[in-house]
Structures are given as structure tokens and as C-alpha cells.
């Protein structure tokens, strides 16, 4: 398979294992997939199978033992493409206000200008956090914290977004709302995104494609394109569409069939 | 202000009385202690030569203040303590940062730090005098020696107990290890640093006094030694009181 110019991200047989004195934990085996620009992929799989590890490798935090990653046709190391990685927990710093948490990435990358600051304020406004700019993280609800963490990632204008169970800390209703919100925004801005989640309905309502991983060590069990025949393809409309239940059952069987 | 309910007023009244009782009792205890001390010394139940007595202490204090010597002694001790305190803080923060940056270095040095920290520092003071001479530098070094190793160890412990996920966040934002230090490790260790500073000011004072016992011409440690040599116990007690007021 030749690398395609349209492919923003390409993974070719990635292997990864954790090593420590007790032995090695094999986490990823032969993971290959590619993504087109603007595509939204959801990755589902049992707990502890290696989903977070996969995102860490794509973001360059961990080096794969074997295999290669290309971004926009370049090797990950040489790539200048901006990757935004939203971790499993919001990791907002209590000693900073929400605004100062949000501009942490700008600060680190020496990109604090009047323009980027204005952008940070604007994003906080669109996500309903304007009154909380000067609040401490502990004064915010779980959903607000999650949105603040998202703003911290988005303000760096990433071309590829990696989301590691961004909504897992939220209660069910907030989760639906924030999930749908964030999904819409990512779609609207035409961002390429990978969403790791436990929640099958979240994956089905947001993604263009679902990748199902096996239990650890993770391999790709199946890749399932999601096609909805809808006039307006929003997460909410998807949840009410007849295809939704079919996809849910399909993925459910895939995951639980091999136990 | 809105109207207070009867119950609230009653509650406030009880609280006020409670605080008054506590305050008065505290003063009473001190006064009766001084009175018993003075009384027993005067009637010869205890030997006022050995145990001194409040009136003698007051008299001695009066002498020391009128000729200003007590202020000189306090000033000297304070100066030496503060210098050694700031040196300890500065050096131990730098050392802990260096250890944090290099896991190898910290593992190599760990047993040495533990041994140096458990050394009886007061035994070090005579050695320091031999090495550095009987001067103020020695006293400042003696003050530092008591605090520095423990300070480095606890700072490093606090640095390395920072949540690794927070450091991972810095890396996801394309930060370096230096960013992890300045943006996460130092700010989140601030409470620990403040605690260590509180402990260290006391430790430095202890070290300085030990140094002054052995190698000084002034300072509160010197005053204690001098007074004990001339059997003026009041002088020692005044020095001790001065410590209490230093804090
Ligand atoms: N630093 C590490 N050292 C050793 N083993 C690790 C380390 N990090 C993760 N693992 C192991 O690797 C496996 C995959 O971890 P990973 O965090 O990628 O799972 P996950 O799919 O994200 O799980 P979850 O759904 O619970 O977030 C786990 O079984 C875990 O025990
Ligand atoms: Mg995970």
C-alpha cells in the first residue's frame, strides 16, 4: 500500500510493549490504519487493552518498538503537523485560574500574542466558561472542567485531535450534551479526530468509522464504517436513526463474542 | 446586618465567655508559676543560686538592656541564622532540582544523602572549627549543616511525588523537561517548600547556637556559655527567653 497524499495519518504495523523489572507487558500488536483529513474515527475496546498507549504513540510521547507512523506523508519525527492530545483526566492545575490553564500550551510554545489571547477568550466564551475565566478548577463542575481542558487543546489549533475518553468523568446527561457539543464543533471545524471511548453509543453517534480493538495485547479486531442516511447528520439525529441500534448490536457482538 | 435570632445571640454570648475564660486562665497560669518560683526561691525552698528567680532575671535583663549587650547578642545570632537559612534554602532547591533532572544522579547519591542526614550535626561543629577556624563563617556553616541534608531530601521527595500525568500533560503540549520543572514541579511543591522553610529556620538557629557555644565572642549561644561559666543562671534563662521572642 503506497502512502496516499490525502491521508493525513498512517500507521503501519505498530508494536509496543511496556518493560519493567517484573517483565514485559505487550500492549499493541500489529496495528495498522489510515485516516483521511477531516475524518472522525472512534476506537473502542475493553479496559486496559492499550487504547491510551496507542494515542500516546500517535502523539509521539512513546516510541513504537516496531512499525512506522506517517503524518501528511512525513515521518512523525520530521512532521510539523500540530497534534492536540486531550488526556483521560483534565489535569487542570489548581494553582492557575481557568484562563491561565487554557493558555498553558501557548505559554510553553511561546505563542502568547494578543491574537492568541483573544482566541483563548473567544473559545472560553463559546464553551460557556466566560464567567469562570478567573475561577480555580475546583470551583468548576466536571463538565466545565472537561470543556476547559478541550479549550486548552483547541487554542493551539491542532490539525489532528486525539481524545482519550474525554467525557468519562461526566454524569450521563452532561456526557450526552458535552459529547454532542464537542462532536459537532469538531465536525464543523473539519478537524481530523480520534476518539477513544468505552461508550459504544458515544462512538456510534460521533464517528465516521469505528475501530474495535481486542483485549490486551490489542490488535485491530474489526473496522466498521458508519453510514447514516440522514439529512442533517448530528449526534442527536443519529441516536434516533434506525441504523443506530443495528450498529450498536453489531459492535456489541464483536466485543463480547470472543470472550 | 440582619437581626440576630435569640439562639444565635445566646450562642455568641457563650462563645465569648469561653474565649475569656481561656485567655484569663492562660495569664493566671503564667503569673502563679512566676509567683511560686519567686516565693520558693525567697523562702529558701529551692536554691536561687542554681534555679535563679524571676526578680533576679528581671534585674539581669535590665542590666543587659541598659548596656545594650543583649541586643548585640540577639542581633548577631539573628544575622547568622538568617544567612545560613537563606543559603540552605537556595542550595537545597538547586540540589533538589539537579537530582530531579537526573534520575541516575539521585540514585547514585541517595545513600550518601541518607548517611549525611543522619550524622549527629552537633558533633560536626568542633571539626568545622578545626577546618575553618573560629570565626563567623564556621558558625554559619554549622547552622547550615544541621538543616541542609534533610532539606534536600524532603524537597527531592516532594519533587518526585508530583503526579506523572501532570508532567505528561506538559509533554502533550510540546513542553520540555524544563517546562515540566517550572510549570508543574515547582508550583505544585510550593506548599512543601514553605513547610521545609518553616522547619529549617528552627534547625538553622539550633546549628548556629551550637556553633556559638564553641566558636564565638558574641551571640546568644556565647551568652549562654559565658553565663554558665560565671554561674549566672539568670543569663542563661534570659537567652532562652530571647529565643522564644525571636519567633
Ligand atoms: N507505564 C506502564 N508500565 C507498565 N505497564 C503499563 C504502563 N502503562 C500501561 N500499562 C499496561 O498496558 C496496558 C494498556 O494500557 P492503556 O493505558 O493503554 O490501556 P487503556 O486501553 O487506555 O485502558 P483504559 O480503558 O482503562 O484507559 C494495561 O494493561 C496496563 O496495565
Ligand atoms: Mg486509557
pLDDT digits (tens, 9 = 90+) for A29-78: 999 999 998 899 999 998 889 999 999 999 999 999 999 999 988 888 88
Count of structural domains, chain B: 1
Whether the CB of A51 sits within 6 Å of ligand 1: yes
Domain containing residue B187: 74-212
Residue A98: its pLDDT value, please?
Answer: 96
Q: How far is CA A246 from CA A95, A242, A254, B203, in A?
A: 47, 7, 12, 71
Residue A258, pLDDT > 70, answer no
Residue A149, pLDDT > 60, answer yes
Residue A2: its pLDDT value, please?
Answer: 46
Does B246 reside within a domain? no
C-beta neighbour count of B241 within 10 angstroms: 12
| Percent of residues, chain A, with pLDDT higher than 70 | 97
Whether the CB of A31 sits within 6 Å of ligand 1: no
Does B56 reside within a domain? no
3-class secondary structure, A10: strand
What's the ipTM?
0.88
Does B53 reside within a domain? no
Regions of chain B short of the pLDDT cut 70: 1-2, 231, 233, 245-247
Q: What is the mean pLDDT of residues A176-180?
A: 80
Does B101 reside within a domain? yes
Distance CA B49, CA A111 (A): 74
Top residue of B173, B177, B180, B191 to mutate, by most chain A CBs within 10 Å, is: B173
Q: Is the dihedral of CA A132, A138, A139, A141 positive or negative?
A: positive
Residue A178, pLDDT > 50, answer yes
Does B5 reside within a domain? no
Distance CA B165, CA B72 (A): 53
Tens of pLDDT, residues A79-116? 888 899 999 888 999 999 999 999 999 999 999 999 99
User: Is some CB atom of chain A closer than 8 A to the CB atom of B167?
Assistant: no
Does B22 reside within a domain? no
Residues within 5 Å of ion ligand 2 by Cβ?
A: A 52
Residue A128, pLDDT > 90, answer no
Average pLDDT, chain A: 89
Give the residue among B85, B141, B143, B150 at the shortest CA–CA distance from B115: B150
Distance from CA of A155 to the nearest CA of B (A): 11
Strands A83-86 and A160-164 come out as parallel
Does B201 reside within a domain? yes
Residue nearest to atom 1 of ligand 1 (CA): A18
**A positions 70-89 inside 8 Å of B (CB):** 84-85, 87, 89
Residue A126 banded pLDDT, cuts 50, 70, 90: confident
Q: What is the mean pLDDT of residues A178-191?
A: 79
Whether the CB of A206 sits within 6 Å of ligand 1: no
Does B159 reside within a domain? yes
Give the CATH number, domain containing residue B204: 1.10.3720.10
Amino acid at each position: 500500500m503506497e502512502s496516499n497524499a490525502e491521508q493525513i495519518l498512517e500507521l503501519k504495523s505498530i508494536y509496543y510493549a511496556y518493560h519493567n523489572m517484573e517483565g514485559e507487558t505487550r500492549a499493541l500488536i500489529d496495528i495498522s490504519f489510515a485516516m483521511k483529513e477531516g475524518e472522525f474515527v472512534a476506537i473502542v475496546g475493553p479496559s486496559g487493552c492499550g487504547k491510551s498507549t496507542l494515542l500516546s504513540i500517535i502523539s509521539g510521547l512513546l516510541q513504537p518498538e516496531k512499525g512506522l507512523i506517517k503524518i501528511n506523508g512525513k515521518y512523525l519525527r520530521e512532521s510539523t503537523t500540530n497534534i492536540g492530545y486531550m488526556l483521560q483526566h483534565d489535569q487542570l492545575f489548581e494553582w492557575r485560574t481557568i484562563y491561565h490553564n487554557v493558555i498553558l500550551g501557548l505559554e510553553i510554545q511561546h505563542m502568547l500574542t494578543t491574537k492568541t489571547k483573544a482566541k483563548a477568550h473567544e473559545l472560553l466564551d463559546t464553551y460557556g466558561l466566560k464567567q469562570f475565566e478567573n475561577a480555580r478548577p475546583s470551583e468548576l463542575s466536571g463538565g466545565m472542567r472537561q470543556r476547559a481542558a478541550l479549550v486548552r487543546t483547541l487554542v493551539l489549533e491542532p490539525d489532528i485531535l486525539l481524545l482519550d475518553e474525554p467525557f468519562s468523568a461526566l454524569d450521563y446527561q452532561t456526557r450526552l450534551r458535552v459529547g454532542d457539543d464537542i462532536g459537532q464543533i469538531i465536525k464543523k471545524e473539519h478537524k481530523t479526530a480520534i476518539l477513544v471511548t468505552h461508550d459504544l453509543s458515544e462512538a456510534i453517534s460521533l464517528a465516521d468509522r469505528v475501530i474495535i480493538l481486542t483485549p490486551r495485547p490489542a490488535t485491530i479486531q474489526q473496522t466498521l464504517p458508519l453510514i447514516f442516511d440522514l439529512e442533517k447528520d448530528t449526534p442527536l439525529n443519529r441516536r434516533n436513526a434506525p441504523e443506530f441500534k443495528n450498529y450498536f448490536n453489531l459492535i456489541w457482538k464483536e466485543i463480547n463474542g470472543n470472550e | 446586618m440582619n437581626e440576630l435570632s435569640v439562639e444565635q445571640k445566646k450562642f455568641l454570648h457563650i462563645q465569648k465567655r469561653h474565649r475569656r475564660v481561656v485567655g484569663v486562665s492562660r495569664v493566671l497560669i503564667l503569673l502563679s508559676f512566676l509567683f511560686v518560683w519567686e516565693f520558693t526561691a525567697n523562702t529558701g525552698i529551692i536554691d536561687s543560686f542554681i534555679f535563679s528567680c524571676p526578680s533576679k532575671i528581671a534585674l539581669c535583663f535590665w542590666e543587659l538592656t541598659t548596656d545594650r549587650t543583649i541586643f548585640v547578642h540577639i542581633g548577631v545570632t539573628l544575622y547568622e541564622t538568617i544567612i545560613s537559612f537563606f543559603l540552605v534554602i537556595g542550595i537545597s532547591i538547586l540540589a533538589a532540582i539537579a537530582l530531579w533532572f537526573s534520575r541516575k544522579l539521585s540514585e547514585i547519591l541517595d545513600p550518601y544523602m541518607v548517611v549525611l542526614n543522619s550524622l549527629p550535626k552537633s558533633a560536626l561543629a568542633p571539626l568545622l572549627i578545626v577546618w575553618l577556624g573560629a570565626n563567623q563563617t564556621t558558625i554559619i556553616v554549622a547552622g547550615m549543616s544541621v538543616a541542609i541534608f534533610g532539606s534536600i531530601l524532603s524537597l527531592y521527595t516532594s519533587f518526585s511525588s508530583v503526579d506523572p500525568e501532570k508532567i505528561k500533560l506538559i509533554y502533550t503540549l510540546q513542553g520540555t523537561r524544563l517546562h515540566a520543572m517550572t510549570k508543574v514541579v515547582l508550583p505544585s511543591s510550593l506548599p512543601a517548600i514553605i513547610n521545609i522553610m518553616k522547619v529549617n529556620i528552627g534547625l538553622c538557629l539550633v546549628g548556629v547556637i551550637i556553633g556559638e557555644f564553641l566558636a564565638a565572642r558574641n551571640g546568644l549561644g556565647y551568652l549562654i556559655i559565658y553565663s554558665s561559666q560565671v554561674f549566672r543562671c539568670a543569663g542563661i534563662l534570659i537567652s532562652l527567653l530571647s529565643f522564644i521572642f525571636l519567633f
